[in-house]
Amino acid sequence: MSHWMGKLKTLLMLSFTAIVLSACGKENLTALDPKGYGAEKSMDIMILSIVIMTAVFIIVAIIFTIAVVRFREKKGREDYIPKQVEGNHTLEIVWTAIPIVLVFVLAIPTIITIFDLADTAEAESSIKVEVTGNQYWWHFDYKGEEIQTSQDLYVPVGKKVYLDIQSSDVIHSFWVPTISGKMDANPENVNTMFIEAYEEGVYWGKCAELCGPSHSLMDFKVVAVSQDEFDQWVEDMKNVNPEEKPQDAVASEGQDLFEANNCMACHAIGSSPVAVGPNLTNYANRTAVAGILEPTKENLVDWIMDPESIKPGNKMTGNYPEVSRDEAEKIAEYLMQLDHSDVNPESAGGIID
């Protein structure tokens, strides 16, 4: 008896832990509160599946309970055997037909949704962005606009934005659960999907495919703004001058150190297609350092000094010249003043923690 009580306690403890952990997470990083077209369609399928499974469970539980109560062994009729239904064609047809019907009920709307989300009929007249997954960051190239940026994908609210998704190394998976479903980023081919945000905001994105030691840290953001703000952002980004000198003396010295240490070999500022490392245009308005840390100067200095301790296996480790902390602070000051647009995450409702 004590053995079973121990197992029951363990089961209850695991169940309680699962319930508590299910409430953990971040706002704008959930598939259960859809704020985009793709996420809404996926949620509809999830609800339909849950309704079907719940109905099947209830019906089976009722039939099981009736069978247990009605045909249980009773005193005085130990030899009682219920009527056997083996070979009953009617029952066989019923319990074969019901699962088939349920499969069709679930499959038909699922197939319709798959084709709907894969529709590219409006792609030529919509915003198109080439998305490249890298270990462990994301690069965004706006087609026809000569705009490259990384980690923060700006989109207008209520408009379809088509994404051509590919990987530069291993397989990744592009996923913004609050506004869209998942799409693999493969090295061999380009996959296309669209996203459409219903509300302004900063939505968390994740890599949903195990891609290395820092897979869980391969975060990015989708910043949804109004159409006017998006147009302004595009115009501002087009007019970026990477050679512009900061007015602040420390930042100006940091720019010199940035160039002297050959950082430009991997990081572009402006429309340069270089993508060995993240594009740093408009870095001051980024929502995070290295995709995961609060966007503070202190965190940026820590990243410059020791990126391996923050994102193990990243390509910056071993390829970055050693700098003193004083030099790192000056470089960080320069990057924190790279503000090329008046449109930023604050205009989209702020950064969601």
Give span(s): CATH 1.10.287.90, the chain. Answer: 27-76+83-117
Give span(s): CATH 2.60.40.420, the chain. Answer: 249-348
Residue 239 pLDDT: 87
Calculate the alpha carbon distances from 63 to 58, 59, 68, 70, 218 in Å.
Answer: 9, 6, 9, 10, 48
CATH class of this structure's domain 249-348:
mainly beta
Q: What is the pTM of this model?
A: 0.84
Cβ neighbours of residue 11 under 8 Å, at least 6 residues apart? none
Residue 351 pLDDT: 47
| CB-CB neighbours of 30 under 10 Å | 14
Dist CA 118 CA 183 (whole Å):
11
- Higher-scoring residue by pLDDT: 280, 318: 280
What are residue 147's DSSP bridge partners?
Answer: 142
Q: What is the DSSP letter of 283?
A: G
Q: What is the pLDDT of residues 148-163, one digit of tens each?
A: 999 999 999 999 999 9
Dist CA 129 CA 132 (whole Å):
10
pLDDT category of residue 352 using cuts at 50, 70 and 90:
very low
Q: What is the pLDDT of residues 186-226, one digit of tens each?
A: 999 999 999 999 999 999 999 999 999 999 999 999 999 99
End-to-end CA distance of the chain: 48
Dist CA 167 CA 190 (whole Å):
8
Dist CA 53 CA 27 (whole Å):
28
Pick the CATH number of 27-76+83-117 from 1.10.287.90, 3.40.50.670, 3.10.20.310, 1.20.810.10: 1.10.287.90
pLDDT category of residue 344 using cuts at 50, 70 and 90:
confident
